[in-house]
Structure 1
Amino acid sequence: MQVSFACTDHGLKAPRNGEHSKQNATSPNTTSQARARFRTVALIARSLGSFTHRYHHNLKESTAKLTGMKYRNLGKSGLRVSCLGLGDLEVHEGNFFSCLCQVAEQLMTIAYESGVNLFDTAEVYSGGNFEALFLACLLSLRRSSLVITTKLVCVCGCLKGSLQRMQLEYVDVVFANRPDSNTPMEEIVRAMTHVINQGMSMYWGTSRWSAMEIMEAYSVARQFNLIPPVCEQAEYHFFQRDKVEIQLPELYHKIGVGVVSWSPLACGIITGKYENGVPESSRASMKPYQWLREKIMSEDGRKQHAKLKELAHIAEKLSCSLPQLAIAWCLRNEGVSSVLLGSSNPSQLTENLGAIQVIPKMTAGIASEVDHILGNRPHSKKDYHH
């Protein structure tokens, strides 16, 4: 039997401008009461194995028929997420915060109206401005129609700070960055379990963890009756395949850990903009991305561009762009719950969201053609293609 609980806006909605101080003045216990209500519902829902938002279904019904957006379970949990999510907005230009907000609001609106319900946040996104940008856009959207995730290094303290900055009572999923080798796994799992039990998050996942580390976390959770992770954030694209196609599918089938993948365009390499060098306005031209510039200019980088030229012929045959082909290719993997898109302008995001229309064209024959050109398909016991 599957039981679903709806999380409404009542008592959980972020206060709008001017309301926060008023609420505190008239009802000092509002925040704690709201968190207590959410925690009660969350714990009951987890014990019964499923938790969904009331408005997820409405969002799906109102947009899926028009946009073709697909919704998948996050791993084998009961949380439904759009197969394309919005990650780092990459909004760095401009001298005024209002300019950044305007671009960010455009990007989030385009994503939301295209059926995206998964929004991945992190304190370091958009040059450290993302949480403030997200708050400015969040006020115009219904919280309960969104799946909001965030990433943490110092679990409890950082999450409380992020929630306060975004004026949220909770996030749906909190991701723990790769653990320090000196930190006991039991300590990490207990901390993430505490975060969930306190109502600050519904699920937790891992980010850039090895399959062995994820399995250790799962074992520790089972041993001490704690909460295990439900998904892993992992890099996945044409030139980075082994972990998502070999290691993680085994975890998906054994313990239900899914994948939220990022960088489907390999930091922009797959867009083709670096074909003739590094443009001055590109990310690779910036000092913090010297590593990317070196990668592009290396011998391996030149070989990758040669392969991209061949892949462009497949994209042309499918009447799509190369980035759309690359994103649809990522979504062919059954263990991938969602692919996070990073965008810097509305036209780029609109193009990338168009990958939804390419998914039905990703036949076994097309996948074989891509494998033949790339020449890097990992050897596995199973074929995990749809």
Structure 2
Amino acid sequence: MEFRHLGRSGLMVSEIAYGNWLTHGSQIEEDAAKACVHAALDEGITTFDTADVYAGTKAEEVLGRALKGVRRESVEICTKVYWPTGPGKNDRGLSRKHIMESLHGSLRRLQTDYVDLYQAHRFDFETPLEETLRAFDDLVRQGKVLYVGVSEWTADQIAQALKIADEMGFDRIVSNQPQYSMLWRVIEGQVVPLCEKEGIGQIVFSPLAQGVLTGKYRPGQPPPAGSRATDPAGSGFIQRWLRDDVLERVQRLAPLAAEAGLTMAQLAIAWVLQNPNVSSAIIGATRPEQVRDNVKASGVKLDAELMQKIDEVLGPVVERDPAKTVSPPTRP
């Protein structure tokens, strides 16, 4: 496993992170979830990503139990706040009240006294940004949060936060967690250039485009039983790529992966890691062998000719519109 700095901060993260959206506490049994976490640790993954809202807070509980007994200083635990975690009006958003209460709930569930990275899971248009950033800064000063980041924010929103932080002396954002893959490249136009300039790293999710880039979804055929496309919690998010024109082009990546000595999944993960602004790529898994296979993408260098061939194959079906930086609300 290779490691990179998280943006311009001193924090090192594993090139491949383990995330538990749609798996822990919902899609797979706890014993299987623990087996995947332990496989990740065995393969050198030290960065673990979750959120309070995943599986209605159960994902954090499962991750906390899976990491119990692991030397705390040897892992980086990242979680998020924004989406509703209860029925009340203040059980959501980025108000000071919800941030403080959500963080304390996350700490209890994760069985830790601090998180390495606390992220605003979306931008909150109903709360003054100054209030949000001051609450984050207070948590940093209390030692309960080491670094702060955001997820799925636009370049303008990130720029606003940086300006306020600089003016008010708050800790700056060090990371952004966007969707990024061979098929979804919308951050390249505006988000990445700003973040490169400001020292913000990307921790990208869905590098496999919800599994589409593994090649297991075939044009003209129904999704495999038990796949992400058949899971009610994630099927809405994957639908945009289940068109035959997309699936046909994805199948054309198979010989390119074979030529490079990689599986299609390894090729897709290695592709996002070629972007120097990417600090880490998040993978999920329902079986330990998936973890062991995907981590082999760490450290892989793809030559310019192969990168060009990938662009030629996928070009007509790639989404690049910066206006779509923020993913649909079906993915918390």
Please tell me the TM-score bracket, short chain as reference.
Answer: 0.7 to 0.9
Instruction: State the partner residue of 1:335.
Output: 277
SS at match of 1:139: coil
> What amino acid maps onto 2:288 in structure 1?
P
The answer for the alignment partner of 2:296 in structure 1 is 354
Deviation of 1:279 after TM superposition, in Å, equals 2.7
Alignment equivalent of 1:156, drawn from 100, 109, 123: 100
Query: Do 2:184 and 2:319's aligned partners in 1 also have CA atoms closer than 8 Å?
Result: no
Q: How far has the Cα of 1:293 moved from its partner?
A: 6.1
What secondary structure sits across from 2:202 in the alignment? strand
Cα distance change of structure 1 residues 293 and 163 upon mapping to structure 2, 3 Å threshold: closer
| Paired residue type of 2:121 | N
What residue is the counterpart of 2:20 in the other structure?
88
Establish whether residue 207 from structure 1 lines up as the match of residue 151 from structure 2. yes
Q: Is the 8 A contact 2:209 2:238 kept in 1?
A: no
Equivalent residue for 1:105? 34
Q: Is 1:374 aligned to residue 318 of structure 2?
A: no
Distance, in Å, in 2 between the alignment partners of 1:188 and 1:127 is 23
Indicate which of 110, 121, 130 corresponds to 1:166: 110
Query: In the alignment, what sits opposite 1:268?
Result: 211
Q: In structure 2, give the amino acid aligned to 1:316.
A: A
Deviation at 1:170? Answer: 0.3
Q: What is the deviation of 1:283?
A: 2.5
Between the two proteins, the alignment pairs up a number of residues equal to: 301
Calculate the TM-score normalised by the size of structure 1.
0.74
Q: What TM-score comes out, normalization by structure 2 length? A: 0.85
**1:195 aligned counterpart, secondary structure:** helix
The offset of 1:146, in angstroms, is: 0.5
Aligned partners of 2:183 and 2:319 also within 8 Å: no
In the alignment, the residues of structure 2 paired with residue 287 and residue 114 of structure 1 have an alpha-carbon distance, to the nearest angstrom, of 30
CA contact 1:274–1:296 (8 Å) conserved in 2: no
C-alpha separation in 1, matches of 2:254 and 2:263? 8
Q: How does 1:128-147 map to 2 (within 5 A)?
A: 128-147=57-76
Highest Rg: 1 or 2?
1
Q: After superposition, where does 1:1-386 map in structure 2 within 5 Å?
A: 69-88=1-20, 90-91=23-24, 92-93=26-27, 100-126=29-55, 128-153=57-82, 154-243=98-187, 245-275=188-218, 276-292=221-237, 294-297=239-242, 301-356=243-298, 359-360=300-301, 362-375=302-315, 376=318
1:51-92 per-residue CA deviation (whole Å, 9 max, x = no partner) reads xxxxxxxxxxxxxxxxxx111000000001110000016143
Letter in 1 for 2:101: G
SS class of match (2:70): coil
Structure showing the higher helix proportion among its residues: 1
CA distance in 2, matches of 1:268, 1:232: 22
Is the CA contact (8 Å cut-off) linking 2:192 and 2:277 kept in structure 1? yes
CA shift in 2, pair 1:294/1:82, >3 Å: closer
Displacement of 1:253 after TM fit? 2.9
Cα shift readout 1:221-250 (whole Å, capped 9, x = no counterpart): 11111112011000001111021x222332
The one-character-per-residue Cα deviations of 1:187-216 (angstroms, maximum 9, x if unpaired) are: 111111111111111110001111110010
The structural deviation recorded for 1:127 is 5.8
> What is the SS of the residue equivalent to 2:298?
helix
RMSD after superposition: 2.0
Name the structure 2 match of 1:6: none
Q: Tell me how far apart the structure 2 counterparts of residues 350 and 179 of structure 1 sit (CA, whole Å).
A: 34
Q: 1:294 Cα shift?
A: 4.0
Paired amino acid for 2:289: S
> What is the aligned-residue identity percentage?
34
Shift of 1:126: 4.8
Q: 1:198 to 1:130 in 2, by over 3 A?
A: same
Question: Structure 2: how far apart are the matches of 1:257 and 1:230?
Answer: 5
The residue type equivalent to 1:213 in the other structure is Q
- List gaps (5 residues or longer) in structure 1: 1-68, 95-99, 380-386
Distance 1:128 1:157, change over 3 A: closer
In 2 relative to 1, CA 127–273 (structure 1 residues): closer, same or farther, beyond 3 Å? Answer: farther
Distance in 2 (alpha carbons) for counterparts of 1:198 and 1:173: 14
Question: Structure 1 counterpart of 2:190, which letter?
Answer: Q
